[in-house]
Chain A
Amino acid sequence: MRGIKDRVAIAGMGCTKFGELWDKSEEDLMVEACHEALADAGLESKDIQAAWYGTNYTGFTGQMLAHALKLDYIPVTHVENACATATDAFRNAAYAVAAGIYDIVLACGVEKLKDTGYTGLDMTRFLPDGSKVAMTPRVPPPSQFALSAVRYFHTYGLSYDEGKRVLAKIAVKNHHNGTLSPKAHFRREITEEQAINAPILAYPLGLFDCCGVSDGSAAAIITTPEIAAGLRKDKDHVLVKGLGLTVGSRQGTLQDDYDFVHFEENVTAARIAYEDAGITNPREEIDLASVHDCFSITELIIYEDLGFSPRGRGREDVEAGTFELTGKLPVNTDGGLKCFGHPVGASGLRMIYEVYKQLQGKAEGRQLSKADIGLTHNLGGVPGSFSSAVTILGRAA
């Protein structure tokens, strides 16, 4: 079995500003993200041979993307995999190129959430039986992850104050990084005290433990390494080194021995991606990571799931500053979901956009001195039942 390593490349990327974009429609967002990606690659929309359209809430069928970009009778596939949608769209596009079916393809994720009338996510969506309203309780996302936070504190003997302090440090870091990202939704520093004392949304998670709900779009042009090298004069295209996607079968909600303090889907998705990329010691070999910090507790658990920190000891790395911009393994250099924002179906491609820019040395005020291998991690679902996607990207030269 051949893996994906070095078989496809990213030739161009685009990303809109994320935020409460009251004056922009999904069409505006797709046109802006995709045309930035096309311009970055030096291509036009007629060069695209196939496309993958990722969204959870914003329209149905690939026609959404075809209509916005006026694509000309090419195949467009709608991809949906909860909050891991955009990475899955990217993954399918990459495999199509690796299979030799197409030379140049587009992956675009978009979400227009701020028209729903909800400050958070509209929880009446995604009912498996097709009915519009659930018969059983719909647990809002902050509570779903609060279940993990309560259990994490309990399992590792953290008092409420100690636990909140660790989570606050993660939020402070992401807020700082957000100030250095012109396209981020939230761009202001916060203090640990502000984070700890903020209103509780779902105990123990407060306002600053939860990511923003945003509008936005991001897109990637995926092609072969050879074509990418021809398109980019500086040879600064980015190679896909590994792709891992795993989907749980709700083991954690059905089996009463699931612990709520690790996400098995993350562990298995990372294992697949690391094998693809030949990574054996992620903490040492990866230069930066853009991970799914939908909540501060999620980021803490991800450190451990992806092998950045030993199990139960993410706190030590947080306190040592390991994941700050100046640390050994900077995480969420653009502010993450917390501050860049979370337009659900676009977020995976936004993560790839940040790593792509860092590997190219074009991340402006937040540019890392060493950025050769980067990781993105995109997570959909709730503890006990996830879709998890991990991508490893590397510099071509």
Chain B
Amino acid sequence: MTPSLPSRRRGFSLIEVTLAIGILGLAILSLVGILSATFSQVSEIMDTNRALAGVTRLIGALDNPRTIVFIPAGDTSSANTKFINQSGTVTPALDPAPGGAPNFDLTYRLLAPAKTTADAVWLYVYDRRTVGPDKAVVTTAGTDRYDIGSNPSSMEVAVVQGNNFTPDMAAQRNVIGSPMRVRITLSKLLANQRVTVDITTSEPSATRYVVGSALPTDPSLYGLAYLPVVAEFFPHDFTSPDGPTGFKTAEQTPLLIQNIIINR
């Protein structure tokens, strides 16, 4: 018997090795993908909690609208910031001369136009450091330095002209994390309510409110003791409000939806 020829076993080809490594890489990447999904959920939880804290602040701000700040379009300096009751901010003026209108009137004038999603009023709610980090860590005297150990934060509600809250604006105001963008529209609770006061009788007129229609411009002609609105919270990703990809028309799922009743 002649010895059989040794069998020829070839090694892995380059393609096989590449494929194997590719599959391994895919497996690792998918694992990392799962992890990143977990982290994005953590981030979402943080955002939702921030939105929950923002609800209380927003309600407080709508009850006291003179605490809402107004940021001009394209502003790059916080020096131009005013409050929305001041002249030269929201038009038409929320607190027309001689001024001193009740708080409800200001809020009403601000929110009454928000009859549909397209007409919604956008507000921004955010946490901000009291001063910039460079002002908070100095221990010696200075004209504009603050010996604040922890540099505490406070919450602010803002109206931005043109609704475009830019990263520059956020930096100017020492904003922590991502601000919340709040879309406010009139609530459907207004449906079939007699919302208009008849100026001849000073009684609510018989006409009933149809969802999507306009409310009286003058708060004194508004017939209810409260204004119900819906606030939808979105994380603000600094996208533009207008255009085909703008957030005004984009389909988004809000982090939080809150019904708010503003009392006279």
Tell me whether A and B are bound partners.
no
